[in-house]
Chains A and B, each alone.
Chain A
Amino acid sequence: MLKKMFTIFRRDAKVNTREFLTAYIMLAPVIFAIAINLIAPGINDTTVNLALVKGDDEQMVAYLEDFAKVDVFKDVAALEKRVGRRDDVFAIVPDGDDYYVLQQGNEVEGLEQYATMMLTFYQEGMRIEDSTAIIHSFDRTVPPLKKLLVNIFMMFSAIMGGMLIAINIIEEKEDRTIRAINLTPISRTAYIFAKSVIGITLPLYGSVVLVVFTGFRGIDWGQMMVLIVVSTLISILVGFTEGLKNETVMDAAGSVKMLFLPMAGAVAVAEMVGEKWQWVAYWVPFYWTYKGVDSVLTYNANWGTTLLYALFVVIISIVAYLILMPGIRKGLE
């Protein structure tokens, strides 16, 4: 039976690569990951990028490297060329016995003062040891927006998996092939499971792509997988229901997209609403997935909490299953 289920999954995956919309859905996690990497440095990176002339003042290079990202270039022309590029880089250019700061002019406001101050500190001989400031830290090492985006896009992938199922069901309906499948020795339950596999593999592959591409490689992969797999349950159910209910791919995709609303709502509640109002999102499985994945991405998760969150998602999905399954079974007749 497993072999037959794999045959059905492989057919779905193969056909999905042949259509623009489905191929795009399969490629979406890579696009998300690239987008996060493009957006995140602009938000999180508070390091000043400095460019200096190679061999001009090795001591200054060593000093500034403690506070900024420093690159050295062979001459002033190379410095000017580097500053002229799209990102924010300040050059510290030798001018006789002194230096001046060279900028493009469109850098993020305030960064030029930071660069100027570092040059001044060096010239004044100030050391970090001279500081009397006391630092207290929350020990949060993960950029918050990057983490938020990765978490959201992982849930996006789960919903996309449901969308893919809906599209595949619509294809079966348009081609009237469900009747032919019903006359093969594969049980209806096995068929439903087989059609669901793509709704699990896509989010899993999407999550792996997101985690690897965005640099969260050190997380507990097992915990992440558990949370992603359980979060696909509701998407799979909705995917089947909408696939059977709708007549066109666009209608089904539109209906499955409605899942983005509770997902966005759950994230908003988790991030912006006070503790005493958190319960309003308890019914949304994505709320628990979001909280679980958030812990995993901040390297604070433990198996107890992860499994508890996963259990909440499973319970909510079972309720949805009991409501939706009779319709799904009937629709496949």
Chain B
Amino acid sequence: MIKVNGLSHSYNKDGKYAVKDVSFEVKEGEVFGFLGPSGAGKSTTQNILTGLLKLQEGEVTVAGYDVKHIKNEMFNRIGMSFEQSNVYSKMTAKENLDFYRKLFDVETKEPQFLLDLVGLGDKGNIKAGEFSKGMKHRLTFARSMINNPTLWFLDEPTTGLDPSIAADIKDIIKAENKKGVTVFLTTHNMYIADELCDRVAFIVDGDIKLIDSPKNLKMQYGDKLVEVEYIKDGETINESLSTIEENDKKKLQDIIGQSDIQTMHTKEATLEEIFIKGTGRGLI
């Protein structure tokens, strides 16, 4: 669905690259996470893929279209939910969606259906300018689905949303993906990436450091640990023990047999930890 080969971009064309020689591929029906800290080159890459930025170097095809010679019809196939909500504040939620649907040449979703989907069903006749930040974000998200995109770009889709709404948004993404929609997810939130993505790419300083599935990355970079809290001789002790190393395994058996265990859980590495390990950089 997306093929990127040797993509480089310099804003001032002065040899300082925001992204440098980036190559990756996103398969049809996949949820692909593009992860990195601010200024890593996520937005630059995404903007080139969506045609918002002109392709300078490299070869990029999106939904079968060559981005170098972008055709307007490509936009019938893609949807984009922006990190910063961008809806007409002087128009109602319904008017916003009604307006956008008329700009596409393909079958579109009913505005009321979309508003219901994102929990704004009863707010259709309220001007978007009167919406809270979260509501505007949901409206922006709803708008990105209006043309039934086969390739869906999501930029921080759950930012600023309360946990229950964020959970709903994640469910919508999963449901659309189940229908065959390819998702390109840009985020610095490793939890949502871990939950949704089939594969993730870690980008730092315009360079992709790692690409793989979260599961493989965890296996490759994560430590298999058990955290246990127990009482021994009247004293509370916390320990992290490896489930692989023999000494730790034996010690764990002793603790289970001889001590009063308060809590015990396995602790696999998070994507965030893997990111730090794999790239040598934090996510902020």
Give the B-binding residues of A (Cβ under 8 A). Answer: 3-4, 7-8, 11, 14-15, 18-19, 171, 174-177, 179-187, 333
Contact = CB atoms under 8 A, between A and B. Distances in A.
Nearest to B81: A180
Contacts of A181: 103
Contacts of B73: 185
Contact of B100 (A179, A182, A184, A187): A184
B255 interface: no
Contact of A183 (B53, B75, B102): B75
B99 to A, nearest CB: 5
Given A7-B102, A11-B99, A15-B90, A183 B52 contact: yes
A3 B100 contact: no
Nearest to B53: A333
B99 A176 contact: no
Given A3-B102, A175-B89, A180-B80, 7 more contacts: A7-B103, A18-B90, A183-B50, A183-B80, A184-B75, A184-B100, A186-B72
A15 B129 CA distance: 13
B230 interface: no
B186 to A, nearest CB: 14
Contacts of A176: 82, 84-86
Contacts of B188: none
Contacts of A177: 86-88
Contact of A182 (B52, B79, B104, B140): B52
Contacts of B88: 11, 15, 171, 175, 177
Q: Please give me the 10 A-B residue pairs with the lowest Cβ-Cβ distance, nearest first.
A: A176-B86, A184-B103, A185-B72, A7-B102, A185-B75, A15-B90, A183-B80, A177-B86, A180-B86, A4-B103
22 contacts: A3-B102, A4-B103, A7-B99, A11-B91, A11-B99, A15-B90, A175-B86, A175-B87, A176-B82, A176-B85, A176-B86, A177-B88, A179-B82, A179-B86, A181-B103, A182-B51, A182-B52, A185-B73, A185-B74, A185-B76, A186-B103, A187-B72
B143 interface: yes
A184 B82 CA distance: 14
B260 interface: no
A14 B99 CA distance: 11
B268 interface: no
Nearest to B77: A185
B105 interface: yes
A30 B91 CA distance: 26
Q: Interface range on chain B: under 10, 10 to 19, 20 to 34, or 35 or more?
A: 20 to 34
Contacts of A182: 51-52
A123 B75 CA distance: 87
Interface string B95-132: 00001101111000000000000000000000000000
B131 to A, nearest CB: 12
Contacts of B87: 175, 177, 180
Interface of B: 50-53, 72-76, 78-80, 82, 84-91, 99-100, 102-105, 140, 143
A183 B104 CA distance: 10
A179 B80 CA distance: 10
Given A7-B102, A185-B104, A186-B72, A333 B86 contact: no
Q: Which of A181, A183, A333 has the most CB of B within 10 A?
A: A183
Contacts of B99: 7, 11
Contacts of A186: 72, 103
A180 B52 CA distance: 10
Contacts of A184: 75, 100, 103-104
Given A175-B88, A185-B104, A180 B82 contact: yes
A180 B72 contact: no
Given A11-B99, A185-B76, A180 B84 contact: no
Contacts of B100: 180, 184
A180 B84 CA distance: 11
A178 B143 CA distance: 14
A181 B87 CA distance: 10
A3 B105 CA distance: 11
Contacts of B75: 183-185
A178 B74 CA distance: 18
A54 to B, nearest CB: 59
Nearest to B50: A183
B102 A4 contact: yes
A91 B85 CA distance: 71
A185 B89 CA distance: 22
B132 to A, nearest CB: 16
A14 to B, nearest CB: 8
Contacts of B91: 11, 14-15
A171 B103 contact: no
Contacts of A185: 72-76, 103-105
A184 B103 CA distance: 6
Contacts of A180: 80, 82, 86-87, 100, 140, 143
A34 to B, nearest CB: 28
A290 to B, nearest CB: 35
A6 to B, nearest CB: 9
Contacts of B102: 3-4, 7
